[in-house]
Structure 1
């Protein structure tokens, strides 16, 4: 039997400090007492765990835990690119057998709901092979960032991986009922988010790409959003969103113009300007024509525009005023500028422009932060205020939001919401919880959902709270005295990066032409019924195609402006491959179908490559 081994414990702790430093604090927290987890000897001389959760639950077999783990994994089939979630770490018997089936492209996520169990495990099991394995991640349920970690892993893998497998130790489900239920809820939400993001990228890839190219020229007239970070410390701020309750108190906003920073999301801009209220800044993220259509014709060039490069290009063309560029984590502009040693400010984006605005206000140091029009629910059966971007939409006709749940209301009781709004509400509450020690949050929406962590105060009652006059405009103007993000010092380096991208795209085009010739030859071989005599040539052609696919994957970092459309193309490849019925047909027909499908796939890719080459040529001429 293994006993608690001080050397193993020290070794594991050192590895955790290096690879999971965020877990050390909770492991050292005395409130997590592992006395309720006992190590016992099994009949075959191995060990198991007993967890006391009202009753005693044995995690692994008391008789033959290794045999039990072998049976548990026997019928589990792991396919290439599978991402496997396992609920329950225990003493890792089952994980050891799973690892025999894991391939290089697989990802294994171990969800451990009990810090007490982990404490005991690191005392008796050497975790080196687990911790050092790049294909394995350990996620603690008790960690305050649990939901974020699981969601992030699913989002990172979900846009590429074809399939997920969700496995569990039944003894863990019995011992940790609440934790398992919460874990399933997190998984379900994250899976819906992935599907939504996939569909969004597929449907918007061409429009986003066009915007990315057309908007790069505006960088020479834009400043980096990071120039604003920490510049408004302890200055009150109002975030104006487009929820239906904005109709109730929009008139009061004008009273705060010289008392706090007012930032509006683009969906609320029309409503504000209609009332002769000019916010200090407006923030925009949506890259669709629909976003532009509802602010088309509005004169807001006197209002600084906070934007991401993906925003619909005509918004930037028609806005003649001051511009502030931001990016998402590891997105196109930040990626490009990192290559020339420049950092673009990053804002969190969780599916709504209001989440970007909230992150911006936190990063500039605003305090308190006041929400207006942030209903996050269907107040009076409306989703948006009058004169906002979407006030005209007939939701019953389009039916794409789903009135599927109710949440606590601003005035008590329950209010109707949908999946997307509920997810935004969860983001707001999670972010507020993280920042509550440093920032006061006030919900002045006067309707919709109750946002946990906020004081509910009306704008009318807030007026007397902010008595000091602040020259917000002067602060903003002083920040704009700095250099644009593209300036005389870095322009040449930036252009060189775009030129490198252009050469990479041309290189792909040349290799793609060679691949298409080989595919034509493959089709000819099968069409003439020569495949029996040209097996070697067929293998060589397949090898050339495979080499190109590997080459293309390795080029992705060099051609990031193509990545949205490449993602859409990859999804089309998966669909074509999946829908090709090559079972129960002869070898010749099978070869002809494969050659035909590959011709369709790579001709489509060639169209994308040629289009990007032209766009980049235009872009280079405009910068």
Structure 2
């Protein structure tokens, strides 16, 4: 083939791919169009140059002054594909936590309460599959496959010939390199036989959000996500990929905890506690125009505690329950205290440290609706306002959900109409001096800890550390757990500023930078401009205004709302029973059952959305095990396995629904 023919074919393929992207990937298409215009007009100098060498293409990096392949790109791509194997644990991301169970324990756990830890609730399926799988796992089919680095893309169709995967995650941080691959690789043809999800030219935050959303939709098939690795440039995404998998919602907050939260919410509802309406932004005038200092437990708080002591009467002080012993010791009296933690031990230990509570006689407690009841009983009922934690017993009262109490309190203040917020101790980063995650003396269920350097083979939400943009410095180290919170704070702020143009938020902490929040050094604040607040009048006004947007009564609307949830739960139970009671003779039939269970549970017309969420949580823990198991080669006697797994699934789903019905019916 002549050089002219090669060039004409490349241009033709490029145009074909561009038309495909215009139709299917409009955002990416527009980015490529802008890049094309910038290059053609001379506004951008090309870094990567496509060149044809004898019988193959290569890419020249004009900055590094080297070739990307530096050999026959076709042969190299084939060698890369030849390394792919059918071992699910080789070159893959593991998307679940694995547990081993002692012999004889699992049979007992099948009869355990559904409120037992999900580690035990998941045991019957997880252990059965582990016990009935061969030691050497090999996949029959590839459902999802990840391509880390595109280059010229030659390895992608070659990999597809081998894998025939249903879905490809195609990742390339360089928009310019991906553009060159459009001249060489036929993405349109590939898209006609499989599903392509393109992650091209994204920054880390954009990649994280897009990947997280897609993982939520494909959880059935992601027990292990196999990949091929072409480019080190994709390493910037590795922490995000691992973080997405380790921070999946069902892993952070399992279905047993959701059921406990639901149960406690209905207990407080029946006992006529005041529930705050957090379904929308309220106008609490006593908070609206006052400076509110939100104190969290990050290292920056302890370092600036003298500033808080000196100026506490110039701010409305809002803090977390677990900081109260430290505040009491320093003579700082909070106006509002929040708590979200449902754990008995951490709640009750605080009372022992606090001793006399007289200093809190005018303080307002805004707590989640799933706190341990003996904890709440120790405080005056008239000072307590509850917000729905995960689920609602009152119609249209909203809920606040976030990874930790810091973000929850921040969002709560916004929903209560606060427009002037100062953040201190919401670091979401490690102390640059000590490497600690929280202020000295603060311990909750996240625990104070030091982190370790991260690598690409393993990832821990609490141990591995990596760098992010700093608030008062160029960059700072954080951990995966905090990265989730940083993302959540950014989401809260973005939504809030779209709805409240005059919202002002300042970050006083030497921690992570938050989008849309202004960094502010404490030493640069002119505190003479802040007026002293009349805390006595403020407390009276705040109590009254919070009561006006709260209710401790069950209305006719609430009763109808809960009646409809019960009716739909009964209908769903009947439908699932009809599917799970059938006999299935082969794997294909059983896989269709799994899909049908998923469809039935996620019926958008169901009013029992809290039950749907809890059943979905259980399914996310367990259905991928089943799909994975039947995708393994050399599974003996599948009919026997189908019968056993169907029985376990039916048993556990029924436990959840029965507990739900008892809770709503008040039995």
TM exceeds 0.5?
yes
| Distance across 2 between alignment mates of 1:158 and 1:614 | 28
The 5 Å alignment of 1:360-439 reads: 366-367=419-420, 369-372=422-425, 374=427, 376-377=429-430, 388-390=442-444, 419=479, 423=483
Asked if 2 retains the 8 angstrom alpha-carbon contact of 1:287 and 1:310, the reply is yes
Judge conservation of contact 1:498–1:620 (CA < 8 Å) in 2. no
Structure-1 residue corresponding to 2:641:
594
Superposition CA RMSD, Å: 5.6
Give the paired residue count. 561
Structure 1: how far apart are the matches of 2:634 and 2:199?
A: 45
2:406 to 333, 354, 366: 354
2:104 is aligned to: none
Q: Are the aligned partners of 1:211 and 1:313 in contact in 2 as well (CA < 8 Å)?
A: no
On the 8 A contact 2:250/2:620 being kept in 1, the answer is: no
Distance 2:413 2:70 in 1: 50
- The 1:301/1:592 distance shift into structure 2, 3 A limit, reads farther
Q: Answer whether contact 1:85 1:166 (CA < 8 A) is retained.
A: yes
Instruction: State the distance in 1 between where 2:387 and 2:198 align.
Output: 36
1:431-510 equivalences under 5 Å are 441-443=506-508, 454-457=519-522, 463-467=527-531, 469=533, 474=541, 477-478=544-545, 481-482=548-549, 488=555, 490-491=557-558, 494-507=561-574, 510=577
Aligned residues of 1:443 and 1:454 also touching (Cα < 8 A): yes
Report the counterpart of residue 661 of structure 2 in structure 1. Answer: 616
| Residues in 2 aligned to 1:270 and 1:29: alpha-carbon distance in whole angstroms | 61
Question: Are residue 52 (structure 1) and residue 97 (structure 2) matched?
Answer: no
Write the distance in 2 (CA, Å) between the matches of 1:23 and 1:217.
53
* SS at structure 2 position matched to 1:187: helix
Find the counterpart in structure 1 of residue 23 from structure 2: 15
Per the alignment, residue 317 of structure 2 pairs with 262
Name the CA shift for 1:237/1:512 in 2 (closer, same or farther; >3 Å). Answer: same
Displacement after TM superposition at 1:254 (Å):
5.7
Q: 1:455 to 1:249 in 2, by over 3 A?
A: closer
Q: What is the Cα deviation at residue 480 of structure 1?
A: 5.2
The alpha carbon displacement at 1:371 in A equals: 0.9
Work out whether residues 242 and 388 of structure 1, in 8 Å CA contact, stay in contact via their aligned partners in 2.
Answer: yes
Match of 2:205 among 127, 132, 145: 145
Unaligned segments of structure 2, at least 5 residues: 1-7, 87-138, 451-459
How far apart in 1 are the matches of 2:316 and 2:430? 25
Following superposition, the deviation at residue 112 of structure 1 comes to: 1.7
SS of the aligned residue for 2:281 comes to helix
What is the aligned partner in structure 1 of residue 150 from structure 2? 89
State yes or no: 1:223 paired with 2:277: yes
TM-score, normalising length from structure 1? Answer: 0.67
Given candidates 9, 12, 16, the residue that maps to 1:2 is: 9
Q: Please give the per-residue CA displacement for 1:243-281, whole angstroms capped at 9, x wherever unaligned.
A: 466456546536555543433233324544566645343
1:574-585 alignment runs, 5 A limit: none
Greater RCO between the two (CA within 8 Å, min separation 6)?
A: 2
Quote how far apart the aligned CAs of 1:322 are.
5.2
Q: Is 1:289 aligned to 2:344, yes or no?
A: yes
Match of 1:181 in 2: 235
CA distance in 1, matches of 2:371, 2:219: 22
Counterpart of 1:166? 227
CA distance in 2, matches of 1:442, 1:353: 17
**Contact 1:244 1:383 (8 Å CA) reproduced:** yes
Give the Cα separation in 2 of the matches to 1:276 and 1:135: 61
Secondary structure of 1:35's match? coil
1:33 aligns with 2:80: no
C-alpha separation in 1, matches of 2:414 and 2:235: 32
- Structure 1 residues 616 and 229 mapped into 2: Cα distance closer, same or farther (>3 Å)? farther
Cα deviations across residues 524-579 of structure 1 (Å, max 9, x unaligned)?
Answer: xxxxxxxxxxxxxx837x77755543332223225653655764576467779999
SS of equivalent to 1:286:
coil
Tell me the equivalent position of 2:651.
Answer: 606
CA distance in 2, matches of 1:117, 1:513: 50
Please report how far the alpha carbon of residue 221 of structure 1 lies from its aligned counterpart in structure 2 after TM superposition. 2.5
Separation in 2, partners of 1:7, 1:608: 51
Give the corresponding residue for 2:81.
73
Instruction: Tell me which moved more, 92-101 or 568-577.
Output: 568-577
CA distance in 2, matches of 1:235, 1:503: 49
Which residue in the other structure is 2:174 paired with?
A: 114
